[in-house]
């Protein structure tokens, strides 16, 4: 089972999986999103290595296709969308929850 939607094109799934394999977190964002900045600050404070894909810096087709992989047919497309430890986490609220519980840094020990 893929962590991406069933309408995700294989070439985009491979690109995204490649990014996920190189880092602990992947942040799908835009350059004008305050919650995206706050999410990246939380990752930085917890020393969580991440990569970012800014949808508004991609060409329109790539932006749509990455969105299709992340959100599928769901019309509610929001940023940030965060993958953590190669699994979909959700948005800023889910990341903030892990930060508040102190489990964001702790999860690092489980990765070997």
- The pLDDT of residue 43: 97
Contacts 24+ apart (CB under 8 A), 8-13: 8/65, 8/68, 8/69, 8/72, 9/65, 9/68, 9/69, 12/62, 12/65, 12/66, 12/68, 12/69, 13/69
Q: What is the pLDDT of residues 101-111, one digit of tens each?
A: 998 885 544 44
Question: For residues 55 and 77, is the Cβ–Cβ distance under 8 A?
Answer: no
Residue 74's pLDDT is: 87
Neighbouring residues of 43: CB distance < 8 A, sequence distance ≥ 6 = 25, 27, 50, 95, 104
Predicted confidence at residue 64, as pLDDT, reads 95
- The Cα–Cα gap between 15 and 48 comes to 21
Helix (H, G, I), strand (E, B) or coil at 5: coil
pTM as predicted: 0.89
Helices then strands, each counted (H, E), the chain: 5, 4
CA 2 to chain centre: 15
Look at the block and give the residue holding tokens 């940023």.
79
Interval 11-36: pLDDT, tens: 999 999 999 999 999 999 999 999 99
Band the pLDDT of 90: cuts 50, 70, 90: very high
């Amino acid at each position: 089972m893929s962590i991406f939607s069933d309408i995700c094109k294989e070439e985009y799934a491979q690109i995204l999986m490649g990014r996920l394999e190189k880092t602990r977190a992947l942040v799908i964002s835009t350059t004008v999103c305050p919650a995206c900045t706050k999410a990246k600050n939380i990752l930085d404070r917890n020393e969580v290595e991440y990569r970012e894909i800014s949808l508004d810096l991609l060409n329109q087709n790539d932006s749509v296709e990455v969105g299709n992989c992340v959100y599928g047919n769901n019309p509610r497309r929001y940023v940030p969308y965060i993958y953590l430890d190669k699994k979909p986490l959700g948005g800023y609220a889910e990341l903030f929850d892990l930060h508040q519980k102190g489990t964001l840094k702790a999860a690092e020990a489980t990765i070997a």
